[in-house]
Chains A and B, each alone.
Chain A
Amino acid sequence: MPRSQAIADSLTKLLDTSSRPIYAVDAQRRIVYCNPALATWIDLEPKRIVGRRVEFHSEEPKTDAAIRSESAPLTDLCPPPHALAGNAAAGTISCLARGGRMLHRTAEFVPLGRAEKSQKSRDSQADQQFGVLVLLASDDLSPQELAAEVSHEPTADELHRTIRRFRRGQAQRYSIQSLLGTSATMQKVRAQVEAAAASGANTLIHGHRGSGRSHVALAIHYRNPAGDDATLLPLDCEVLTEDLLERALDKLRPSRTAAVARPTLLLENLERMSAAHQSILLNAIRQSAIDARIIATIDKNTVPAEPEDDQPTDETGNADQRRESVQQTSTGVDPILINSISTISIRIPRLVDRLEDLPILAQFFLEACNRNSSKQVGGLRPDARDSLALYSWPGELDQLREAMEAAHAACKSHEIAAADLPPMLHHAFRAATHVRRQPERIVLDELLAKIEKEVIERALAQAGGNKSEAATLLGMTRPRLYRRLVQLGLAGEESDAGETAEAPEFIEQDAAE
């Protein structure tokens, strides 16, 4: 088979798989190729399309029957004269769909001719004829978009469509399935998310920073039965200003139009909300000044103070007294605010408590790295998986993601080895490999001195041997550090000659103080 034929066959196969309608018109204005997507779009079999002429003007009436006959020209599929003259162009292509409805799509017209035209041929372009490859968009244009296409101006509808498309994308991204993990605790979280989404009730999500609290909140919101119309207003309480809060509450005022879907107010890091902001929000909730479902994320350690037994538990009448008597929680969140938000309470498990989910989560983050890089890493070797499991993950999923990004960058083969993981994991691994000892007698002072010696040595190393800086790192005075160095037998090793001579003076001075 000639090479050019092989290339043509390969190209045809490639175009056949495209979801965008594509066809080619030769210099005699006959369709020489169309892909299945075009056949579907204009609702004609490929054999009824290929071979037919495309003309700007046809004497035959544009009817469904005429189009379906095999001889009539397909006038609507004709590229513009500019494109047929051998120039790249963009425009709109229309077709009459079954039932008489006109469909319109934007199109790119790619000239098929000699790659380089000589000056002579350019001069005689009017006499030249070229083939054209036509690539249509994936979606039909709305009448408004068509009008905008003609006038070259975006429409309001286009903006709304963009936003709806974004929301649909978010709904996919934050689907229930995106809450990865097969552990029992994660199964429970998924069930709670389903329940919270279906009920529309206020929801409080407890979890450590980095554990995916916001992801769970978004999963609840985007499972909203109102679909694309429900808006989400996220507020990070950590950076919240009064101005922002007031604006948000203003946006969430009960709507006078019944058609608007109930919005969601997402309060991130509720434990960081100032008392003044809590008071404003609580008043708005009590006075029904806002009509929104509230989802809040809060640190797992934030537990509202329990009211005393003799205190009223209702929120009417004695609420202010109760607020005075029941102090704010240890992290500063008013228990009444917590109660009003926690109709449903979801607790996100710590990563260390669901180690069975670790491999799938690590693989997920690895795949994300692969998507953003030309380097493709297949997975983790067993030694790397063991190292991951031995670490305590204080930074939760965020830390795991960072660790996988670092490992992906360091990895030199197709699989991540333990050596590719960040140093912190190696420290933890070494600590974990210390064998458990048999019960033994110890001398506490010696053990503590050993630990103190280790820490001081580290501090000196960290400070590059500078004792003043080491003392600062250790939170002690320089004379006291000297005294400890002498007592621990480190003065000789660590001091240079000048400093050793100076040490006794400091020690004496310190002792005198």
Chain B
Amino acid sequence: MISRNHWIVCENAGRWSAALRVAISRQATKLGTSTGSPRIDVVRTLAELDSAMREQNRSLALVEVRSDNLAAVLELLAKSWRRNVRLAALLDSELGLQPSAGSSQSPDRPFAADALLEAGALAVIDSPRQIPMLLNLAERQTLAEGRVADSADTNDSLTAIVDRAWAALPWQDA
């Protein structure tokens, strides 16, 4: 089951969101349930994505990376990591395909993928064929967040009660 219920995709052509919808639908059919399938919203600019991520901080964000927005995506990823918001990168088919200028440098596409991972991308995929891996990761991420949230909720709900009870207990110096 895919448990994150809101995905925000930032892209121009609509190619990735279509592929995601197909993959999600296939997975839901395979599991025989449509409950828990994420809703997919599409935004066109990184500013819109940033704003949507601030409003829906439990969402999974996916961004199409092209040559012209690589620097901005790297910055957004770095910022998101500090806010504990995870974002996956979807490589555009044209990114970094031109020949490298120096022979000592890595081929450009993996180089860009490495930089995106370094900036904190949850995953970097460059083909719709890799979407199932992304779904798997998103599910794990949700489970992990659930564990943290449960633990935080338990702590939060207990804090006030325990504090009050503790303050009422005698022999505070003991």
A interface vs B, CB < 8 Å?
144, 153-160, 162-163, 165-167, 169-170, 173, 209, 214-215, 231-234, 236, 238-241, 243-244, 251, 257, 259, 272, 394-395, 398, 424, 427-428, 430-432, 434, 436-437, 439-440, 442, 447, 450-451, 454-455, 458
Q: Which chain A residue lies CB-closest to B107?
A: A156
| Min C-beta distance of A362 to chain B, whole Å | 17
Write out the residue numbers on chain A whose beta carbons fall within 8 Å of the beta carbon of B152.
Answer: 395
Q: Would B171 and A439 count as touching, CB distance under 8 A?
A: yes
The CA of A88 and the CA of B92, in the complex, are separated in Å by: 31
Query: Roughly how many angstroms separate A458 CA and B159 CA in the complex, as a whole number?
Result: 13
Q: How far is the CA of A427 from the CA of B167 in the complex (A)?
A: 11
Quick one: closest B residue to A230, CB to CB? B118
18 more contacts with CB within 8 A, not counting A166-B75, A166-B115, A455-B161, are A155-B101, A157-B101, A159-B70, A160-B111, A163-B70, A165-B71, A170-B118, A173-B78, A232-B118, A234-B120, A236-B122, A241-B137, A244-B123, A259-B104, A428-B163, A430-B163, A450-B168, A458-B161
Q: B74 touching A162 by the CB < 8 A rule?
A: yes
Measured between beta carbons, the chain B residues less than 8 angstroms from A432 are 167
The answer to whether B67 touches A159, judged by C-beta atoms less than 8 angstroms apart, is yes
Our pick among A238, A259, A427 for the contact of B140 (Cβ within 8 Å) is A238
A151 to chain B, nearest CB (A): 11
Q: Let me know if A155 and B148 touch, CB within 8 A.
A: no
Shortest CB-to-CB span from B28 to chain A, Å, is: 20
Query: Judging by beta carbons under 8 Å apart, are A439 and B168 in contact?
Result: no
B172 contacts A by Cβ under 8 Å: yes
B104 contacts A239, C-beta separation under 8 Å: no
Given A239-B140, A431-B164: A156 and B159 interface contact (C-beta under 8 Å): no
**B173 → A minimal CB distance (Å):** 7
- Count of B interface residues, CB-CB < 8 Å: 53
Nearest-CB residue, chain B, relative to A394: B155
**A157–B104 alpha-carbon span in the complex (Å):** 12
Least CB distance from B68 to A in Å reads 7
Contact present for B141 and A239 (CB under 8 Å): yes
Among B95, B114, B173, point to the contact of A233 (Cβ < 8 A): B114
Task: Please tell me if the beta carbons of A436 and B172 are within 8 angstroms of each other in the complex.
Answer: yes
Q: Are B133 and A243 in contact (CB under 8 A)?
A: yes
**List of B residues within 8 angstroms of A153 by Cβ:** 98
Q: In angstroms, how far is the closest chain B Cβ from the Cβ of A322? A: 31
Asked whether A238 and B168 contact (CB < 8 A) given A166-B115, A231-B118, the answer is no
Q: Taking CB as reference atom, which chain B residue is nearest A450?
A: B168
The contact sample of 28 A-B pairs, CB cut-off 8 A, is A155-B101, A156-B99, A156-B100, A156-B101, A156-B108, A159-B112, A160-B100, A160-B111, A163-B74, A163-B115, A167-B118, A170-B118, A215-B82, A231-B115, A233-B114, A234-B118, A238-B144, A239-B122, A239-B144, A241-B133, A243-B133, A428-B159, A431-B166, A434-B167, A436-B172, A436-B173, A447-B170, A458-B161
Task: Tell me the smallest distance from the CB of B142 to a CB of chain A, in Å.
Answer: 9
- B117 contacts chain A at the CB level, 8 A cutoff: yes
Q: How many angstroms between the C-alpha atoms of A440 and B172 in the bound complex?
A: 11
Is B156's CB within 8 Å of the partner chain A? Answer: yes
CA–CA, A257 and B104, complex, Å: 8
Distance, CA A251 to CA B165, complexed state (A): 54
In the complex, whether B13 has a CB less than 8 A from a CB of chain A is: no
Residue of B nearest to A440 (CB): B170
**In the complex with contacts A157-B101, A159-B70, A439-B170, A424-B156 CB distance below 8 A:** yes
> Chain B residues near A439 (CB, 8 Å)?
170-171
- Would you list which residues of chain B between 128 and 167 have a CB under 8 Å from chain A? 133, 136-137, 140-141, 144, 148, 152, 155-156, 159-161, 163-167
Query: B105 at interface (Cβ–Cβ under 8 A)?
Result: yes
Q: Are B96's CB and A156's CB within 8 A?
A: yes
Q: How far is the CA of A108 from the CA of B166 in the complex (A)?
A: 67
A215 and B144 alpha carbons, distance in the complex (Å):
20
Instruction: Known A155-B101, A437-B170; judge A272-B144 contact (CB<8 A).
Output: yes
B146 to chain A minimum Cβ distance, whole angstroms, is 11
In the complex, which residues of chain A have a beta carbon less than 8 angstroms from the beta carbon of B99? 156
Residues of chain A within 8 A (CB-CB) of B112 are 159, 163
Contact between chains at A447 and B98 (CB < 8 Å) = no
Please give, as numbers and ranges, the residues of chain B lying within 8 Å of A169 by CB-CB distance: 75, 78
For residue B45, which residues in chain A have a CB less than 8 angstroms away from its CB?
none
Return the CB mask of B79-116 against A: 1 if under 8 Å, else 0.
00110100000000001101111001100100110110
Residues in A with CB closer than 8 Å to B2 are none
Q: How far is the CB of B76 from chain A (nearest CB, A)?
A: 11
Partner of A166, one of B74, B98, B161: B74
Contact status of A447 and B136, CB under 8 A, knowing A166-B115, A398-B84: no
Is A233 a contact of B133 with CB atoms below 8 Å?
no
Chain A residues contacting B78 (CB-CB under 8 Å) are 166, 169-170, 173
Residues of A within 8 A of B96 (CB): 156, 159
Q: Is B119 an interface residue (CB 8 A)?
A: yes
B167 and A431 contact, CB distance less than 8 A = yes
Tell whether, in the assembled complex, residue B133 and residue A424 are in contact, meaning their CB atoms are under 8 Å apart. Answer: no
Q: Which residues of B contact A158 (CB under 8 A)?
A: 67
Say yes or no: A424 contacts B159, CB within 8 Å: yes
Q: Return the contact of B67 from the options A144, A154, A447 (Cβ within 8 A).
A: A154
Give min CB distance, B141 to chain A, whole Å: 5
Q: How far is the CB of A75 from chain B (nearest CB, A)?
A: 30
Q: How far is the CB of B53 from chain A (nearest CB, A)?
A: 13
Residues in chain B near residue A173, CB distance under 8 A: 78
Closest residue of chain A to B119 (Cβ to Cβ) is A166
Instruction: Report Cα–Cα, A234/B67, bound state, in Å.
Output: 23
B114 touches A251 (CB 8 A): yes
Q: How many angstroms from the CA of A243 to the CA of B133 in the assembled complex?
A: 9
Tell me, in angstroms, the Cα distance from A258 to B112 when the chains sit together. Answer: 21
B95 surroundings in chain A (CB, below 8 A)? 159
Q: Do the beta carbons of B170 and A442 come within 8 Å of each other?
A: yes
